[in-house]
Amino acid sequence: MEEGKFLSWLKNDGDFVQEGEPLFALESDKAAQEVESIDRGILRIPITTPRPGDIVKVGQVLGYLLAEGETAPATESPAPALAATPPPQKAAATSAPTPAPIALPTPAKASATEMPLRASPRARRAAAQHGIELATVPPGGSTGRIRERDVLSALPEVEPGIAKDGFTKLPVTPLRRTIAARLMHSRQTTVPVTLTTRCEADTLLGFRKQLKAEAETAHLAIVPSLNDLLVKLTAAALKSHRMLAATWSDDALLLPETTHLGIAVDTPTGLVVPVIRNADTSTLTEIALQSQKLIAAARAGQLAGSDMQGACFTLSNLGSFGIEAFTPVINPPESAILGIGTVVREAVPLEGGSFAARQRLTLSLTFDHRVNDGAAAARFLQTLTHLIEHPLLALV
């Protein structure tokens, strides 16, 4: 690791921090990690500390752990961004008056000294080829000279912005790579079939309108979104169609004991699927609060790995884009995913030859045919449609 994205302090300024306690959160590739303190003392967070989302380099000073009565360096002269820090182990043991800077764990050989840059011809060639600044490459050998292998390991996975043969190369982010790998895995390991059906949403939308109107007077903590309603109804439908939540394993079908539901969230960097816990037993408000928090974290890039694990079924809503029906891709190890289309107003023929305007939406269910046959999936859709059209049933 050369750098990471600073997420947040997990302790407050002035807290006494023990060795081994989580100190701050950092995102390396996809998942956030909590960095434990390897020293003890009173946390002093300087004004120069990075803001959430800032990229921080290995060795960069984030804050100080002070002994009793010790003061941090003056904030007017912030510690250098790249500090030649003593190894953290040493800082941990010290009781010297100089405060122990808190820095990113330093790889064994990383060095940020003021020595003139030394690099082998081969390393210089590699740096030129890849458009990388040699000064940013930590040397790895016994002599402090930058070698080719040092340059190559310092490369971003793809060099950005270099046009070649009519294409501009863009970096593949760790998230993009993860998405690609998971979807390819899904494509290669499931037998997906998609069913679509339409349901009337007037009742459900009316229900939500009512909640919104009453929110203040009823002291609702939050107004559930249409999606939250659909999560709740889907959880209810899954109760009577457990096989749609099943996972295929080599020698058995695994039925989950809980009903955690994934919700696909579009973020600036790509698709993530945080998980709403216990959607079947949670109240609508609880679901709404969970989803609000998860969506905010997802958009801030602050989801933890655990936030995205444990679902048995996923909902993906493209309705806000005007999409009516689509073929969502199963998110393994789940075996089904529900696509929610946009609400359209349609003329619906009534008995007697007249027409009425109704709000309708399309449900697109992709399921793994290894786990469920078409009829089972269709029966689940029937149940869910019925629940959407008669949402009160979910309360009973």
Partner 1 sequence: MTSTDKTSPLELYRTMLVIRMVEERLAKSHQRGLIPGACHTYVGQEAIATGVCAHLDTEDAVFSTHRGHGHALAKGMDPGELVAELYARETGCSRGRGGSMHLFSPEIGMMGTSGIVAPCILQAAGAGYSSLVTKSRRVGVAFFGDGATNNGAFFEGLNMATIWKLPVLFVCENNQFATEVPFSTVAGNDSVAGRGAACGIRSVELDGNDVLAVEAAARQAVARARNGEGPTLLECKTYRTRPHAEGMGDFTYRTREEVEQWKTKCPLARLKHHLLTHNLASAAEISAVEEAVAAQTEAAHLFAEKSAYPAPETATLHVYSEPRPGPHREAPPSEPGTRELTFMKATWEALSEEMARDPKIFVLGEGIGERGGNFATTTGLFALHGPERVRDTPICERGFVGLAGGAAMTGTRPVVDFMFADFVLDAVGEIINQIAKMQYMSSGRIKMPVVLRGCIGIGHSAATHHSGSYYSMYAHFPGLRVVVPSTPRDAKGLLKTALTGNDPVLFLEHRELMTLKGPVPEEEYYIDFGKAAVVRAGTDVTVVALALMVQKTLQACEPLATEGISVELIDPRTVSPLDVETILQSVAKTGRLLIVDEDFAHCGVSSEIAAQLADRGFDDLDAPIRRLNGKPSPTPYSPTLEAAVVPNPESIAHAIRALCAE
Active site residues: 369
Q: Of 69, 97, 116, 121, which lies in the binding site for partner 1, with binding defined by CB under 8 A? A: 121
**Dihedral sign computed on CA atoms, order 368, 373, 378, 384:** negative
The 3-state secondary structure of 160-198, one letter per residue: CCCEECCEECCCCCHHHHHHHHHHHHHHHHCCEEEEEEE
Output 124 or 299, the one with its CB closest to partner 1: 124
Under the binding rule (CB under 8 A), the answer on residue 322 touching partner 1 is no
Output 117 or 158, the one with its CB closest to partner 1: 117
Closest CB 151 distance from partner 1, rounded Å: 10
Q: How far apart are CA 129 and CA 122, in angstroms?
A: 10
Under the binding rule (CB under 8 A), the answer on residue 154 touching partner 1 is no
SS3 17: strand
**Positions in 181-220 near partner 1 (CB under 8 A):** none
Q: How many CA atoms lie within 13 Å of 127's alpha carbon, on the beta-carbon side?
A: 21
Output 120 or 292, the one with its CB closest to partner 1: 120
* Phi, psi values for residue 343, rounded to 5°: -85, 125
Where on the phi/psi map is residue 353: left (φ > 0), alpha (ψ -120 to 50), or beta?
Answer: left
Closest CB 123 distance from partner 1, rounded Å: 6
**Token pair in block for residue 35:** 């960095």
Output 145 or 182, the one with its CB closest to partner 1: 145
Q: Of 125, 185, 209, 239, which lies in the binding site for partner 1, with binding defined by CB under 8 A? A: 125
Under the binding rule (CB under 8 A), the answer on residue 149 touching partner 1 is yes
Under the binding rule (CB under 8 A), the answer on residue 147 touching partner 1 is yes
Q: Which of the stretches 136-144, 171-179, 317-325, 350-358 binds partner 1 when contact is defined by CB under 8 A?
A: 136-144
Closest CB 155 distance from partner 1, rounded Å: 16
Output 57 or 124, the one with its CB closest to partner 1: 124
Residue pair 6/50 in contact (Cβ under 8 Å)? The answer is: yes
Q: C-alpha angle 82/1/168, rounded to 5°?
A: 95
Under the binding rule (CB under 8 A), the answer on residue 141 touching partner 1 is yes
Under the binding rule (CB under 8 A), the answer on residue 142 touching partner 1 is yes
Q: Of 109, 122, 169, 187, which lies in the binding site for partner 1, with binding defined by CB under 8 A? A: 122
Output 113 or 142, the one with its CB closest to partner 1: 142
DSSP assignments along 95-130, one per residue:
-SSS-EEEEPPPPTT-----PPP-B-HHHHHHHHHH
Q: Of 77, 143, 188, 249, which lies in the binding site for partner 1, with binding defined by CB under 8 A? A: 143
Residue pair 229/236 in contact (Cβ under 8 Å)? The answer is: no
Q: Of 8, 48, 94, 120, which lies in the binding site for partner 1, with binding defined by CB under 8 A? A: 120
The conformation of residue 146, written as its DSSP 8-state character, comes to B
Among candidate residues 286, 264, 261, 288, the one with its CA nearest the CA of residue 276: 261
User: Which residues bind to partner 1, rule: CB under 8 A?
Assistant: 120-125, 141-143, 145, 147-149
